[in-house]
Amino acid sequence: MPTFEDIAAEFEFLDEWEDRYRYLIELGRQLPEMPPEAQNDTNKVRGCVSQVWLISHKDGAMPPHLTYEGESDAHIVRGLVAIALTLFSGKTAPEILEIDAEAAFARLGLKEHLTPQRSNGLRAMVTRIKEDARHALEAV
């Protein structure tokens, strides 16, 4: 997977939103597949119109680093999952809590080009990721 900075550079390079949507779909295709048994109620993200599942993994470091797996049943949303994972996965819990996801997504121009339902779903993913980070810190 490319880094968030690589994705931002590619979005700047692509002039047309149709091309950006194609790139978003391609990013989603690069996500590793989540096993069907992991696509369950526990991992489901509430607030998304499409089906979205996230799994967080915490290491034993202090503060803990979190990595994420994600999946969606919709191509564009799967691309949004990929972007969210590049922004948050592999960071420490405090770093995750400090990330201004709204500013990062605004940098890509997503706010103006996503339907309200997809925007709400993206916010729900970010909320879930930040909740996972808070829980990881509470468990320390």
81 labelled catalytic? no
**Closest Cα partner for 48 from 125, 107, 100?**
125
- Copy the structure tokens of residue 138: 């509470």
- CA atoms of 98 and 74, how far apart (whole Å): 29
- Copy the structure tokens of residue 106: 């605004």
Q: Which of the residues 7, 45, 48, 96 is marked catalytic?
A: 48
- Copy the structure tokens of residue 127: 């909320």
The rounded radius of gyration (Å) of the Cα atoms in the chain is 14
DSSP 37: G
With beta carbons less than 8 A apart as the criterion, state whether 118 and 81 touch. Answer: no
Q: Any idea which residues carry the catalytic annotation? A: 48
